[in-house]
Structure 1
């Protein structure tokens, strides 16, 4: 269905090709998972299939890519629209209408389908993706995860033969992600749709892949093969694979179920042992206090009676399904929403009544899309603006960038950075004012495992410097590894609040892979298990 013949892509401003030597075929009716470290060329490869590369992105395409017999060099994206459906990382950039139902119908209107066919497919897609209750809602009023489902639905209504997806579950809670992946499986198994999907959250998707296409990095030859074979040597892999590698399982398990079937001896070795206790910050006076907070967003009560204290040195994970109110709570802490009832105080200030210049010294928010904070033409200009806005010494922000994002040229435009690099730049902008409270909304969206590990180190350093850190996330692995405390929101109310091990182990939805494999033991991460086994062998 998709054939790459000695494909390479060279962008004009780059010294090295973004892709090199891709020569392989993806058969019809298979789900192919595209993996590799950030900067390996995954988005470029997806673009060659949809025709966006080189017709819209520029650069030079060597070799040939054919999709259902059509050469993407001679067919522009609009001429491939009936064959290839594409969903990018940013749902808002994908939308062309105002409401859910109109967005689902737009692609079919462009193809000239009959009204009765359009109506039937819209209803089918609303049911498939659980969007029926949102059909009349404005797209801008949806949560990030809801927008992602609408973006996927708008592509599905045209019934393409090939689906190209870039991080399709990155903004979804675990339950919504499972729904989307179940739909994709149904399309592959029942309709013979070919799915090519790039995803950093491999713990969610690798068990569903018929094949895995690994891009090891620039200058290295891509590898296509069975998932277990590729994961055995892939530099990026989910915790279940890391655990299998650590204890020598062969073949490697790809799902929690497969790992549990083989984990009885490991559970016996770990029986009676507990992970080394995490360092808990000493009790301190709260730097931010939310007391019985209620927020109304239009007709919808977004928060109801929320109580939350944030303490210096403590990292808190805020979790819950899409639309639970996580982003609203973060926005309330930086004054974006006026309370309907209750109160919010940060460093003694009332956020919605405080001038931004004063507030940024107390609290800073890195939003879901870091581009919301980045408006200058170069990295150097962003840093200079951050220094001015924070009344910091010139060079303060640039020094932070050098620490968080080494090797980036001052003249680089923020739009040319990867997702992880943009996040690091936005975080540096926020940290320039040295706020006591740091808020992050879905910080690992678009990050590979290496970039996520760097973020973990950065946030731990910030906590050690007595910053209070609150991160809203669907990444259960991040919460298990990093957070001292986990808070779960549902329908605008806090339904759980306590030490992370207690909260996530008891939750089927929010437990990490290791906790599910080694249940009922208290283990959350692979490093905890490796450390315990090493201590056992050393005795």
Structure 2
């Protein structure tokens, strides 16, 4: 058919030393102009499929690949090296893996040079694509100074500069704040209209993409296809199956389902009827009096630019604190300052009554656990089992139990770098949980996770918290903040601008100013209150 852009027929992928295929006889086609949302549990092979569609596999595959893939009627293996990548643009789940240059503008220019664009046109094109993603002010900066979310935007800009026919986005909002996620989805919508882009979006958080997509493909945990059709049909006819497989339902659907609303369920908040019985689960407001960590006059500069300014911050034993704010606001820097990972920070920082600089490093990090935003930054061992057992008695029952809990039993002997991004994240969290530290700091612990593994990770963190561990969690997920946090630190431009309970911040802070949005249940309750006042 003339309108078929890409066709996949009986695609199977099996990695070396794997007992079963990661992808198992997948068949589907993508038409020109399609906007497809690809969903599946963590580890179901979604990213592996991406590597197949853009031609990286089988060239870089340690394993076997069967079946065929054609683009514009031509088998992928017949495309010359680099030719396919001008037509199929991919933003990978981990954006750092696709950067080639040192600065923001050079990264964009690299692709334009490969496209053989005339030098006198490059400047305007670099400015155009950076403006699309809101990074024009970082044009001259080095890439390593960008936040995780800003790196995600840069990767997208570099791909957009190539004007591909098919754009594949692998977890594009995983590192973005809610405001940036909405802006990205709107940018993609506009680009689609202007350039007739064909889209394949791999995502766990699907709410931002519902107005754009016309079709949904669902992959099961065993790498097989179990649905291909409209999202409304999937949600209203297969909701229990989706929940069982760990696939996130839209937030509005989850609220309607919890409130026992009859089908068909709404997909937008303004479609929710008044009078639903909605109650937000929250942490109890306990009183904390034992100081665990204290910062006084904490500051951090980079080339005379003040990036953090924390006059005073006290964290008490037993708190569950959420740090949130826009991408690039200083959340990660703050977490690294309080744990001693941020070097050359000034001020007085005490942990357990002793200044951080007076702690021996090995003793300090027996008491403090830190989960990095990029899990690969903390792996030290050659297998999943060794990573979890690192610093603990080898092959203990506890190690094996934790491997099973994080659903990595089949991969226990694999090198951590061989795992999917979602599996790497689960492993990075588990390595800190097994140590039972006094303070556990987690930078975006649930990004890239399906609903089942998110619930599992939060259950493990809650169990650790109930044992007396103080939790500090950086997150953009306001639903998690609303349910689990007893205190919220809202960060803007390196300063803590709000320090209060979730309930207080929902009522007093203008969240859109900080790139955030109200949890849906809280937004619904506030809407109900306005309705009752005007009744």
TM over 0.5: yes
Distance change >3 Å, CA 284–CA 404, structure 1 → 2: farther
C-alpha displacement of 1:282: 4.2
Structure-2 residue corresponding to 1:337: 342
Matched, 1:243 2:255: yes
**1:328 correspondence with 2:333:** yes
* Correspondence for 2:289 among 267, 284, 290: 284
Q: Return the offset for 1:71.
A: 1.7
Structure 1 residues 31 and 364: CA distance shift in structure 2, 3 A: same
On the 8 A contact 1:504/1:510 being kept in 2, the answer is no
Q: Do the aligned partners of residues 138 and 386 (structure 1) sit closer, same or farther apart at CA in structure 2, a change above 3 Å counting?
A: same
Q: 1:351 to 1:403 in 2, by over 3 A?
A: farther
Q: CA–CA distance in 1 between the matches of 2:310 and 2:505?
A: 21
CA contact (8 A) 2:170 2:202 kept: yes
Residues of 2 paired with 1:338 and 1:20: CA distance? 48
| Matching residue of 1:143 | 147
Moved more, 127-136 or 284-293: 284-293
1:127 aligns with 2:120: no
The TM-score normalised by the length of structure 2 is: 0.89
- 1:510 and 2:517 equivalent? yes
For 2:59 and 2:207, locate their aligned partners in 1 and report how far apart those are by CA, in whole Å. 34
Counterpart of 2:102 in structure 1 is 98
2:309 to 284, 298, 304: 304
Separation in structure 2 between the aligned mates of residue 255 and residue 73 of structure 1, nearest angstrom:
42
1:382: which partner in 2? 387
Q: Which runs of 5+ in 2 are unaligned?
A: 530-535
Aligned ranges 1:109-258 → 2 under 5 Å: 109-218=113-222, 220-232=224-236, 233=238, 234-235=242-243, 236=247, 237-246=249-258, 247-256=260-269
Question: Out of 457, 475, 478, which is 2:477 matched to?
Answer: 475
> Which residue is equivalent to 1:528?
none
Contact 1:54 1:61 in 2 (8 A): yes
The residue that corresponds to 1:419 in the other structure is 421
* Aligned position for 2:273: 263
Q: Secondary structure at the match of 2:353?
A: coil
Deviation digits for residues 306-349 of structure 1, max 9, x if unmatched? 43222232211100001111111111122122465432211123
Distance change (3 Å), C-alpha of 1:434 and 1:400: farther
SS in 2 for 1:345: strand
Corresponding residue number in structure 1 for 2:352: 347
Question: Residue 360 and residue 408 in structure 1: after superposition, are their counterparts in 2 closer, same or farther (change >3 A)?
Answer: farther
Report if aligned partners of 1:21, 1:222 keep a CA contact under 8 Å in 2.
no
RMSD over aligned Cα atoms: 2.4
* 1:342–1:252 Cα change, 3 Å: same
Shift in Å at residue 491 of structure 1?
0.7
Counterparts in 2 of 1:29 and 1:311: CA distance versus 1, 3 Å: same
**Residue 451 in structure 1 maps to residue 453 in structure 2:** yes
Distance 1:381 1:341, change over 3 A: closer
Question: Aligned in 2, Cα 1:218/1:276: closer, same or farther, shift over 3 Å?
Answer: closer
Partner Cα distance (1:99, 1:185) in 2 = 28
Change (3 A) 1:475 1:276: closer
Deviations 1:376-422 (A, max 9, x none): 211233245333xxxx6874872573464352554221112233332
Matched, 1:44 2:58: no
Structure 1 window deviating more from structure 2 (51-60 vs 123-132): it is: 51-60
Shift of 1:133: 0.7
Residue 440 of structure 1 corresponds to 442
Post-superposition offset of 1:56: 1.3
2:533 paired residue number: none
Contact 1:9–1:62 (CA under 8 A) maintained in structure 2:
yes
Q: Residue 52 of structure 1: SS of its match in structure 2? A: coil
CA–CA separation in structure 1 for the residues paired with 2:160 and 2:280: 45
- Distance change >3 Å, CA 29–CA 116, structure 1 → 2: farther
1:71 aligns to 2:72 (yes or no) = no
Q: Give the Å deviation of 1:511.
A: 1.2
| Alignment CA distance shift 1:380-1:18 (3 Å) | closer
1:529: which partner in 2? none
Structure 1 counterpart SS, 2:9? strand
TM-superposed CA distance for 1:262, in Å, is 3.1
**TM-superposed deviation, 1:105:** 1.0
How far the C-alpha of 1:166 sits from its partner, in A, is: 0.8
Structure-to-structure mapping, 1:7-22, within 5 angstroms: 7-22=11-26
Distance 1:316 1:223, change over 3 A: same
Dislocated runs of 4+, deviation >6 Å: none
Give the match's secondary structure for 2:7: strand
Deviates more, 1:396-405 or 1:409-418: 396-405
Cα distance between partner residues in 2 of 1:147 and 1:184: 17
Specify whether residues 494 and 424 from structure 1 end up closer, same or farther in structure 2 by C-alpha distance, changes over 3 A only.
same
Q: CA separation in 2, counterparts of 1:24 and 1:289?
A: 56
Where structure 1 has 5 or more consecutive residues not aligned to the other structure, the ranges are 523-539
Distance 1:305 1:39, change over 3 A: closer
The structural deviation recorded for 1:205 is: 2.6
User: Is the alpha carbon distance of 1:82 and 1:312 closer, same or farther for their aligned partners in structure 2, counting shifts above 3 Å?
Assistant: same
Change (3 A) 1:58 1:79: farther
